[in-house]
Structure 1
Amino acid sequence: MHPRQNHQNGFSIIELLAVVAIMGVLAAILLPRATSGVDEAEREACFTNQGNIEVQCQLWQRNNGSFPAANLLEVGASVEYFPGGLPTCPVDGTTYTIDTTTGLVTGHSH
């Protein structure tokens, strides 16, 4: 006759707590890195929007003899220049404005 062996299937509470603690440490390390990528992408999208607006303002100036109004309402309403509508800043949701003497976007130095 063999002695009775006590075999239990599954994990002990200590093993489960250790796994949860390790996962918590990994999440604390990785989560800030993942969210910083979103912030960087939004800043880059803002710079891209600024460049697109400045190019379209240059075209407007070439076609009309002067830059559009600082609030960009006239150029933004034209589907010829902005078929998808005038973009807003992805970082803070504000509208873009330009310097009417240079055609450059003002502000938005994220």
Structure 2
Amino acid sequence: MKNSRGFSLLELLVVIAILGILVAIALPRYFDAVADAKRSAQKSNIAIIRTSLEYYRNKNNTYPTLTNFSSFLSDPTYFAEPVVCPYNNKAYTAVDVSQTSTYWATSGNENYLGYTSTANAYTLTYTAP
């Protein structure tokens, strides 16, 4: 049997152990990278919304009201494409910041934006996991 071809059991176990170690190192880094990408996308979305709010104010001399905010977020005049939350792929929804609401502090509700406005100012609250 000196001319047999193939790998011994010991060689296969060493290869499997090495692959297991590589996977144990790579997976946490992958999940950290995904979390960082979602955090960056959330910050970018908020910056886009803030810029669009300023554009809306320059055009209309006031900020959108809470009742108009959801339609503002889907208006193609201000957004080239719908702005969606990177955490759950849902469209952003506005809730009143002045209410004792915890929508934006609850995990899984990252698409809720706390919003209040006056003619010259607005408050935008969002989840920053």
Please classify the TM superposition score into its range, dividing by the shorter chain length. 0.7 to 0.9
What residue number does 1:81 align with?
78
What residue number does 2:58 align with?
62
- When the two structures are aligned, how many residues end up with a matched partner? 105
1:108 equivalenced with 2:127 (yes/no): yes
Gaps of 5+ in 2: 91-110
Q: How does 1:1-110 map to 2 (within 5 A)?
A: 6-70=2-66, 72-85=69-82, 87-92=83-88, 93=90, 94-101=111-118, 102-110=121-129
Off by >4 Å, runs of 4+ in structure 1: none
Distance, in Å, in 1 between the alignment partners of 2:25 and 2:126 is 34
Deviations 1:80-110 (Å, cap 9, x if unpaired)? 101312x122124414343314335312222
CA displacement at 1:46 relative to structure 2: 0.4
Structure with greater contact order relative to length (CA < 8 Å, sep ≥ 6): 1
Tell me which structure has the larger Cα radius of gyration. Answer: 1
Structural RMSD (CA) = 2.0
User: What TM-score do the two structures reach when normalised by structure 1?
Assistant: 0.81
User: What TM-score do the two structures reach when normalised by structure 2?
Assistant: 0.70
Amino acid at match of 1:69: T
Contact kept in structure 2, 1:68 and 1:74, CA below 8 Å: no
Contact kept in structure 2, 1:61 and 1:67, CA below 8 Å: yes
Contact kept in structure 2, 1:97 and 1:106, CA below 8 Å: yes
Gaps of 5+ in 1: none
